[in-house]
Amino acid sequence: MAEQTAPGPRSAVQAEEKSSWAVGFILFAGIMMIVSGGFQAFTGLVALFEDEFYVATRNYLLQFDATAWGWIHLLGGLLVVAAGLAVMAGKMWGRVIGIILAVLSLLANFAFMPYYPFWSLTIVAIDVFVIWALIAHGRDVTA
C-alpha cells in the first residue's frame, strides 16, 4: 500500500526553495563586485604610477593628492574583490561586508568624481545595483 501523508506544513527542504531570479541577482552582484573591485584596483595603480593622469577641478571639497586616491582605490578595490568572492560563495559575512564595502566604494567614487567623472558615475551605478541585490535577495542564497 502507498503511504499517504496528511496535508500540513511543508518540509524544511521544500520551504527553502530558492528563487532562480534571486540567485541570479546575487551571482551577478558578486561578479560585478569582482569586476568593479578589479577596475578600482586598476584605477588605483594608474594613480600611483602616473601621478598626472588624473587632474582635479579647482575648489572641490575633497582635494586629495592623486597618490592618496591611488592607495584608496587600490586597497578598496582589493577588499571589494575579496567580498565579491565571499558573496558568490554564499557566505553571510560576505554579504554584510559586501554591503558595507559597496557603500564605501560608492562614497569614495562620488568624492573621486572631479578627477574622472564618467568612470566614477559608472562605478557608483554598479555599487547601487550591488547594494540593492545584496539587501533584497541576499537572504535567498546565504549558506
- Per residue in 36-61, pLDDT (tens digit) is 899 889 988 988 887 767 666 666 66
Query: What was the pLDDT predicted at 6?
Result: 55
Query: What was the pLDDT predicted at 25?
Result: 84
Run of H or E residues at 42: helix 20-49
Q: Can you tell me the distance from the alpha carbon of 1 to that of 16, in angstroms, rounded to the nearest whole number?
A: 30
pTM attached to this predicted model: 0.75
Query: What was the pLDDT predicted at 87?
Result: 87
- Per residue in 115-125, pLDDT (tens digit) is 788 888 998 99
* Contacts of 70 by beta carbon, 8 Å cutoff, 6+ apart: 43, 44, 45, 46, 47, 48
Q: What percent of the chain has pLDDT over 70?
A: 75
